[in-house]
Structure 1
Amino acid sequence: MASPPADDQDSPAPPRRERPSWLIDVAVALLLLVADAVIVVVAGVLLLAVGLGTAQPSHSPRPVQSRDTPVLTWFVVWGVPAVAAMGAFVHARLRMPVTAVVQGLFTLACAFLAIAWTRMLLS
């Protein structure tokens, strides 16, 4: 059996990234948890305010109107969960499990809010 060329024998194995320390992982997770909580609360309050502002009283007849929702609104409503999912994926690839779990939960909260916003915008 022939031996591999000398160039292959001298080349080192590709360097493997070291996992960040648990302290850094938990610190980043806590910072993101606070930021994510603020985002979810603001989105929930806006959902409530916009929903109550556009609600029709039950005793008045509902006027027939066409409300076209701008495309930018749909990009924001469904873009935030997509960006949150990418953040969870990136943190998982960086081998930061605590942060990845926090971002995964934020993704679920964003998806729930996006569904609520979509229902409100389509009604």
Structure 2
Amino acid sequence: MASPSTDHQDSDAPPGRERPSRLIDIAVGLLFLVADAVIVVAAGLLFVMVGMGSAEPPHSVQPARSRDVPVLAWLVVWGVPAVAAASAVVHARLRMPVTAVVQGLFTLVCTLLAVVWTRMLLS
């Protein structure tokens, strides 16, 4: 019986699943980096605009009012970090380390933004 080829003997991956090239990993990571930066800047600007629009004048003596926050707002605020985390896990499983790191950092930033948005929505 013939022995398996030497290129599959040292590999940890199953024979049918190859790792993407490093160049593809870097290109996808850069694309995600640009897209993630646009998302973070847009979320930050939206936070500032909504926060300034809902701010009351400093000498205002209005009673505190309760606002109901729609479920869709909560899904968006906490859904983006969840999707980013899923993307980081998927890219790590695809053995794309650069893209997985970019998505992992994006997950951290999205989680911090979600905490800030939650505080703003609850105040």
TM-score (norm 1): 0.86
3-state secondary structure, aligned to 2:18: coil
Report what 1:31 is aligned to: 31
Report what 2:10 is aligned to: none
- Please list every run of at least 4 consecutive aligned residues from structure 1 whose deviation after the TM superposition is greater than 4 angstroms: none
Cα distance, 1:16 vs. partner? 4.3
RMSD: 1.0
2:57 pairs with 1:60: no
Report what 2:110 is aligned to: 110
Structure 2 residues not aligned, in runs of 5+: 1-13
Report what 1:95 is aligned to: 95
Q: How many Å separate the matches in 2 of 1:94 and 1:112? A: 26
TM-score (norm 2): 0.86
Determine what percentage of the aligned residue pairs are the same residue: 74
Report what 1:15 is aligned to: 15
Cα distance, 1:63 vs. partner? 2.7
Q: How many Å separate the matches in 2 of 1:34 and 1:27? A: 11
3-state secondary structure, aligned to 2:59: coil
Q: How many Å separate the matches in 2 of 1:105 and 1:16? A: 30
Q: How many Å separate the matches in 1 of 2:55 and 2:16? A: 56
Structure 1 residues not aligned, in runs of 5+: 1-13
Q: How many Å separate the matches in 1 of 2:52 and 2:31? A: 32
Q: Deviations over 1:27-82 (max 9, x none)?
A: 00000000000000000000010011001111111333220000010000000000
Q: Deviations over 1:68-105 (max 9, x none)?
A: 00001000000000000000000000000000000000
Moved more, 26-35 or 55-64: 55-64
Q: How many Å separate the matches in 1 of 2:81 and 2:64? A: 32
